[in-house]
Amino acid sequence: MFKIQLNYLSLTKKIMWRLNKVRHKAGRHGDSSEQFRSKRREQENALRQARRDRQLVSKRLLLNDDEEHPEVTMETNSAGQDVVSLFLKLQHSGPEKEADLKALSKALRDPSAQLTFIKQGKSMHLLVGLLTGSNAQCRLQAVQCLHELSHSPHATVAPACLPVTPYLLTYLSGQSTRFTELCLYTLGNLCPDSDVVTEKLLAQGIIPALTSCLENQRHNLALVEAVGFTLSQLLQNRDAAEKIIPTVLASSLPSLLLSVLTPDPQFGLAPAIECAWCLHYLTSRQSAVDGRVLLCHGALLQCSSLLVSIGGVVADGKKEEGMELLICPLLRCVGNLLSSCPVDDLIAQVDDVRLPAALCALLQAYLHTQPALARETAWVLNNLTAPAHSIEFCSALLTLNLVPGLIQLLPFSQGINTMILRVLANIAHKKKEFCVQLIQLGLLSALCATLKMADPEMVTLSLDVLFMLVTSCPQVAEEFVKQGGLSLIEAIQYNSEGEMRRRAAYLLEHKLLS
Amino acid sequence: MLQPELDRLRTEGDVLVRSCGDVCPTSETEQSEVEEGNPFSFSPRLIHLHKDHELFEDGDIQRHMYLQDLYIFAEDDKPSLSVSEFACHISGCTTVFSTLQEYEHHYNSLHRNVCCSCHRSLPTARLLDIHIQEWHDSLFTILAEKQDMYQCLVEGCGQRFRTSKHRKDHLIKIHKYPQDFKFDKIKTDRREKKRQQHKDTDMEVVDDVCVSEGVCEDMCGVLSDQPEQGESMEMHMTDEDTTGMAANIEDPSLAVHGTTSTSTDPLKPRYSYRVPANICFGQASVRGFRGRRGKRK
């Protein structure tokens, strides 16, 4: 469908990204049994419900390099015992401190062991001591323990970890990659657990700490990913809008995030994914002020040119695994930034007439496998074609022969067709000449089908588009009648929706029968 | 915060919608001709979505599945992309179809040649004309007393008869029609039909049977003595109409609610209309409508 654009888009740099270094290994489970699938479905449904309750929160577990899966291999009982006995041993500062700590961190993988541990008096005091002690290995193992605790599903555990946060924050300026990484993920896991924790972290300067960490470690992609994750956790907070976003926008984080947005071919997509999600959360407030700050940093420029590159890759058929995880937040940034963009600035900000082509390539590539992503892409196309000054983009859709592909998407529901029809309506709305071209590309006959759809919004929109088309040129009415449209409009006069009836009646009276 | 070039700024929940100018260049030159009461209100709109918006649900879930190490890349059983359903427009007819063909068939079979007086549906325009003449035209009744007015139903035959009985006999004898040809009911059966109509409304509509299937069966003479499928509804336009609709109408300018309103949401007709008896439409148009208080699929 978009083969014509292949050559055009391949002029852009093509980057191969691989999400192979799955440090947080995802679903490469060879075991695709029904049990596994149904468990996943359960978890997915739980996530959906959590989202509806505005309580969608996740933690990440950083595995050791020798680990493949986060299995809890030990028996709960023995783990609990282990924890207590290890704790006692550690309190007495024996010669096997390091080994004991390592064993403790393994034991703390188990949720009930986590509970047991924090119930021990002065357990946190112990960890703080080891964390700040002179033994580097112990520091590492201590933070590993804290990381396990931070990942706990129990609500009581995170608040118990509060005493360590000032230290974790301090260590963000440290030099040891693995250590800093663990600090970051621990902080990221603790953030969303309670407002108390978040407030404390903000007071303790988490944002400046993250900023300087990102600044200094920009080339260390593992840390970039970790900072991105932690920041995204902060930004997802329910009250982020008032407390956190303004501070972040005022800092140098936006430009830093943008500077690390382009994925590295070797390292993979993961850091870019985290940073893109941060940017998405930053654009989601309904505030033109926020938008302008980001626009000044070139956010729209950067995100849209990245989408153009990705579109080129995708159009070439080289869709990488996991790319949708990056495309999604990028689309959202572009979509929302477009809606904050001052009208006459549009071309300057986007700078690339290939963006519509890239979006269409994404639509086609993900339509069947990720319909939700296709819907979000269509939304961005709407925002791209809506403004009065977006004539170049509308024109590009026509000259690059992208419209037939769009028309072919009109049968698909779940919000895809309504958004696509909006895009076509946006184009028709610009110029009579565009209407004529749309008709030549078959929009009129497509409308004969969409006018019969069950979705009332689709029908009303179709009537609106039809009105624009028949108004653009006198022959259109005739053509429409020839295609059997008259009886269709007459039938709509008997629809239960008043909006439809009025439109149908008007069309009959003024356009179709006169 | 408001930019001078914006005409309207509207918020609703998680969606911020900005309209991009009311003037439609496409209809600029026709502004003088645009009448009062032009109901078309489309204008391109920028849509800003808050992070909690439902359009973002699937993407968010995917993101969190990834964070929790539950995401499966390149999964085999993918979410199925769904195709929009079609629905009959006629108010009260709540049938839904998965293909255009089904829709066309339904519409052409049930809504095209409908008598506006008695709401009987005839399969062809010609039979409709004959029906109207014979059943609802008083002039016909008068003329029929003196002349052969009842036309043979077979096109091209041209013969006329004094009574409908004669015609029926002719149809059976000459054209080998069945005794109980559906589209040649004797007028006196009407009261009986009315009772049957009631029975039709009592009939449970089976969800997955397309109404058009019923018509097909009828045409093949399989069903017994039912000239109509379902009840015919007379609908009344009342004052409830506008107020009822205020709640029902979704602002067509807000794009995103469309994502959840699938065709499975039942459109319960809360109001009704009457087609004035003195209006009859052209050959190719709906002369009436019939409804079936059935469930949507």
Mutation target for B interface from A40, A494, A507: give the one with most B CBs within 10 A: A494
pLDDT tens for chain A, 514 residues: list them: 344 343 333 333 333 333 433 434 444 444 557 887 888 889 999 999 999 998 888 999 988 766 666 665 544 445 556 888 888 888 887 778 888 899 999 999 999 999 999 999 899 999 999 999 999 999 999 999 999 999 998 888 888 998 999 999 999 998 899 999 999 999 999 988 888 888 899 999 999 999 999 999 999 999 999 999 999 999 998 887 788 999 999 999 999 999 999 988 888 899 999 999 999 999 988 788 888 899 989 999 999 999 999 999 999 888 888 899 999 999 999 999 999 887 777 777 777 889 999 999 999 999 998 999 999 999 999 999 999 888 999 999 999 999 999 999 999 988 999 999 999 999 999 999 999 999 999 999 999 999 999 999 999 999 999 999 999 988 999 999 998 888 889 889 888 888 899 999 999 988 877 6
Which residues from A are below 8 Å from B262, CB to CB?
413-414, 454-455
Inter-chain touch A284–B87, beta carbons under 8 Å: no
pLDDT in tens, B171-206: 999 998 888 888 887 766 444 444 444 333 332 222
Kindly report the pTM of this predicted structure.
0.76
Report the residue of B17, B26, B50 to disrupt the A interface, i.e. the one with the largest count of A CBs within 10 Å. B26
Q: What is the mean pLDDT of residues B103-124?
A: 81
Q: Annotate chain B with DSSP letters as a single string.
A: ---TT-S-EEEETTEEEEE--S--GGGGGGTTTPPTT-------EEEEE-TT-GGGHHHHHHHHHHHTT---TT-SSPPPPPBPPEE--STTB--EESSHHHHHHHHHHHTSSB-TTT--B-SSHHHHHHHHHHHH-HHHHHHHTTS--EE-SSTTT--EESSHHHHHHHHHHTS---TT-TT---GGGHHHHHHHHHHHHHSPPPTT--HHHHHHHHHTT-S-S-SSSS--------THHHHHHHHH---TT--GGGGT--TTS-----------TT----TTS------B-----
pLDDT tens digit string along B198-239? 333 332 222 332 333 333 333 333 333 333 333 333 333 333
Contact between chains at B72 and A26 (C-beta distance less than 8 A): yes
Averaged pLDDT score across all residues of chain B: 63
CB A480 within 8 A of CB A512: yes
Structure tokens at A166: 């000032």
Output the pLDDT for position A119: 92
In chain A, residues with a C-beta closer than 8 Å to the C-beta of B51 are: 236, 280-281, 284
Neighbouring C-beta atoms of residue B240, cutoff 10 Å: 12
Contact A342, A32 (CB under 8 A): no
Q: Exposed, middle or buried, A100 (CB in 10 Å: 0-12/13-18/19+)?
A: buried
- Interface residue B31 vs chain A (CB under 8 A): no
Crossing angle for the helix pair A432-440 and A456-472, to the nearest 10 degrees: 110
Does residue B292 carry a pLDDT above 80? no
Contact list, B70 vs chain A (CB under 8 Å): 26-27, 40, 43-44
Cβ-nearest to A386 among B20, B84, B261: B20
Q: In a mutagenesis test of the B interface, which of A414, A419, A469, A489 is the best target, namely the one with the most B β-carbons within 10 Å? A: A414
Burial class from Cβ neighbours inside 10 Å (0-12, 13-18, 19+) for residue B180 reads exposed
Strand partners, B49: B15
Residue B280 forms contact with A (CB below 8 Å): no
Residue A39's H or E segment, with its range, is: helix A34-52
Q: Specify the pLDDT at position B5.
A: 33
- Look at residue B259 in the predicted model and tell me its pLDDT: 36
The set of residues, in sequence order, having a beta carbon less than 8 Å from that of A383 and lying 6+ positions away, is: A334, A335, A338, A339, B46, B47
The pLDDT of residue B180 is 84
**In the prediction, which pLDDT does A90 show?**
87
Cα–Cα distance, A4 to A6 (Å, whole number): 5
Partner A contacted by B59 (CB < 8 A): yes
DSSP helix, strand, coil percent of chain A (3-state; round to 5): 70, 0, 30
Q: How far is A160 from A186, CA to CA, in rounded Å?
A: 13
Nearest CA in chain B to A424: B44
Using the Cα atoms of residue A221, residue A175, residue A152 and residue A190 in order, give the sign of their dihedral.
Answer: negative
Query: Does the distance separating the beta carbons of B91 and A494 come in below 8 Å?
Result: yes
Instruction: Identify the pLDDT of residue B88.
Output: 87
Predicted pLDDT at B118: 82
Residue pLDDT, tens place only, B61-98: 999 999 998 888 766 556 678 888 888 888 778 788 88
- Which positions in chain B touch A335 (Cβ < 8 Å)? 47, 49
Q: How far is CA A38 from CA A66, B68, B75, in A?
A: 28, 16, 14
pLDDT of residue B281 exceeding 70: no
Q: Which helix (H) or strand (E) covers residue A148, if one does?
A: helix A136-150
Measured between CA atoms, the residue of chain A closest to residue B2 is A288
Adjacent-strand bridge partners of B83: A412
> What is the rounded distance in angstroms from the CA atom of residue A373 to the CA atom of residue A319?
14
Round to whole Å and give the CA distance between B262 and B284. 31
Q: How far apart are CA B291 and CA B294, in angstroms?
A: 9
Q: Is A190 helix (H, G, I), strand (E, B) or coil?
A: helix
The pLDDT value recorded for residue A299 is: 93
The ipTM of this complex is 0.89
Q: Cα A471 to the chain's mean position, in Å?
A: 41
Give the tokens for residue A396.
Answer: 């590009």
Contacts of residue B29, defined as CB under 8 A and 6 or more positions apart, other chains included, come to none
**Which of B236-239's residues contact partners 24+ apart within 8 Å by CB, and which partners?**
B236/B272, B236/B273, B236/B274, B237/B271, B237/B272, B237/B273, B237/B274, B238/B271, B238/B272
Pairwise CA distance, residues B135 & B137, whole Å: 6
> From B42, which residue of chain A is nearest by alpha-carbon distance?
A464
**Phi, then psi, of A252 in degrees rounded to 5:** -90, 10
Question: In this structure, what is the dihedral angle of CA atoms A43, A45, A51, A53, given to the nearest 10 degrees?
Answer: -110
Predicted local confidence at residue A71, as pLDDT: 60
Interface contact flag, B47 A339, Cβ < 8 Å = yes
Write phi, then psi, for B109 (nearest 5 degrees).
-80, -35
What is d(CA A280, CA B174) in angstroms, rounded to the nearest whole number?
79
* pLDDT recorded at residue A213: 96
- Please tell me which residue of chain B has the smallest CA distance to A451: B86
